[in-house]
Amino acid sequence: WAARKTALREQDARREGDPGWYRRRDLLGMMLYVDAFAGSLRGVREKLPYLRECGVNYLHLMPLLASPRGRSDGGYAVSDFRSVQPQLGNMEDLEDLADACRGAGVSLCLDFVMNHTSEDHAWAKKARAGEPGYRERYFFYESWDIPREFEKTVPQVFPTTAPGSFTQLENGQIVMTSFYPYQWDLNYANPAVFNDMTENLLFLTNRGIDVIRLDAVPYIWKELGTDCRNLPQVHTLVRMLRMVCEIVCPSVLLLGEVVMEPAKVAPYFGTSEKPECHMLYNVTTMATTWHTLATGDVSLLKRQMEAVCALPKSALFLNYLRCHDDIGWGLDYPWLGRNFGIDEVAHKRYLNDWFTGRFPGSDARGELYNDDPRLGDARLCGTTAALCGLEAAECEGDPFKRERAVACDLTLHAWMLSQSGVPVIYSGDEVGRLNDYAYHNDPDKREDSRYLHRGAFQWGPAALREDPDTYQGKLFQGLRRLEMIRSEEPCFDAGADVWVEDSGDSRVLALCRRSGDRELVCLFNFSGQFVSAGVDRTGSYTELMYETHYSGIRSVELWPNGFAWLLRDRERC
């Protein structure tokens, strides 16, 4: 606290006076890789005018702390929490960027990898050498007896690329590695680990980081005989981090990455008396959205939104369509099986076939990640535009397919913006970035298909964003209009009443929002056909995107993969 500079203390005071500042409807996020977007931290600073042109006021920089080349898992194997990868710049450059962002009204988010360090971290090197006090920071064993007991109950994270949860070192010692062999799990039962990791976190907040993303937080407590996920001690640790931040840096937010269904995600908000994370990732809705696009049936999405809408309004989610990671099909298969007779393995195969373009009639273009033929399971990679069919349309030179793909892309973004919380765009999606297949020729990346959507920002095509006759212009200008409508319409307030209704058609989702005497009905057609659907309302409504007027909205014609934002005219309420 004593080292926190004046500008940050002033921000602390302002935000303490406005504790709901991060719940504003004009907050718009973007996540990007520094090297892919602008080459370096200085380059990102130079590109701030572009980010502001995009309407971005929340910037998430993907992992940039020191990590060993070729053994970094995309930067998630940190070898030094207080150094930046040298090719991106240094810690002074990061602080300069944070200062520039603050001056431009942009909050800066950074990943904080809590569960593990790189095997190249100073602690790990000392532990490997047997230095007293450092083996106890990890989980070291002399034989496989205890590790085998762990593996009876602990699920594998990457069963094909990194099977098991332990790695035997060259000296015969065994260490816990839940993710990859070069990522050693930290032992938070050792108070020195929590103390030192908390100090690392505060070092970053004092450089000007506004939002700390707690990576893989459900994994951080290990206990024999359990699945080592979501244990009660995890919540104690997160609560302690929240308390520390409220004392030292009260303007800083904690963002929890909890890749699970809403029932298991919600506890990470804590309670009003014992708060934990300020925001959480809405992973389930993201995955179910893509499932809904492939099936053309909104039943599962409607069910899940009912669960989300039932949560307290204080629960704030970060919503997104695509991110740096793959799409995992962690859907509610017991419910799908009971109600639709859907088999999990067969359905996952269908979804992956659909989004890789192998299923007849699909124009989606993606690639698989961690394919496990034995289990019939795999995750999916690809940009939003490519998964919506834009890449196929461009390859075929088909203007009809191009228009359909652009419409689908905008509808999915409208759906994301309609949800309560903070919408975050993946860099390049604002101009319809396509897949980047160059990673196949890079020896450091070719084994990881996630680089399909992690490629370099395409500045040439992005220059077409002002041309409404290009797909880049259609997407950029369409998305900006959606974002501006959202920022101006009170129905999008985080405190608005939100619920889902029956649209009369299984292909169309109806989401309703109400703030005071204002009501907004959002309709989304997830099928490739023209559909007439709506909700039981009389009176006059105006569609906000295209300014079409309706008298009653029981039957609104929606274009294939189209949407409507219908605001009830106040003078006739």
Which residue numbers are catalytic?
215, 257
Q: Which long-range contacts (CB under 8 A, 24 or more apart) does 547-556 make?
A: 553/521, 554/504, 555/504, 556/523, 556/532
Nearest to 139 by CA among 175, 167, 166: 175
Distances (CA, A) of 350 to 326, 342, 359: 17, 11, 8
Paired strand residues for 361: none
Nearest to 322 by CA among 282, 264, 363: 282
Paired strand residues for 540: 551
**Angle, CA of 209, 214 and 216, to the nearest 5°:** 150
The CA-to-CA distance between both ends of the chain, in Å, stands at 52
Integer Cα distance of 477 and 467 in angstroms = 9
Tell me, letter by letter, the H, E, C secondary structure of 225-282. Answer: CCCCCCCHHHHHHHHHHHHHHHHHCCCCEEEECCCCCHHHHHHHHECCCCECCCEEEC
Give yes or no for a contact between 385 and 406, defined as CB atoms under 8 angstroms apart. no
Give yes or no for a contact between 51 and 61, defined as CB atoms under 8 angstroms apart. no
Integer Cα distance of 73 and 82 in angstroms = 18
Give yes or no for a contact between 560 and 407, defined as CB atoms under 8 angstroms apart. yes
Paired strand residues for 65: 84
Q: Which amino acid is at 183?
A: Q
Q: How many residues does the chain have?
A: 573
Distances (CA, A) of 371 to 161, 163, 195, 376: 9, 13, 39, 8
Structure token pair of residue 445: 């990346």
Structure token pair of residue 231: 């244990």
Residue-by-residue DSSP string for 167-201: EE-TTS-EEE-SS-TTEEEP-TTSHHHHHHHHHHH
Paired strand residues for 214: 112, 256
Q: Burial of 171 by CB count in 10 Å (0-12 exposed, 13-18 middle, 19+ buried)?
A: exposed
Mapped onto helix, strand or coil, the DSSP state of residue 306 is: helix
Distances (CA, A) of 203 to 35, 260, 278: 23, 30, 20
The rounded Cα 161 to chain-centroid distance in angstroms is: 22
CA atoms within 13 A on the CB side of 471: 28
Integer Cα distance of 536 and 533 in angstroms = 10
Structure token pair of residue 405: 């793909």
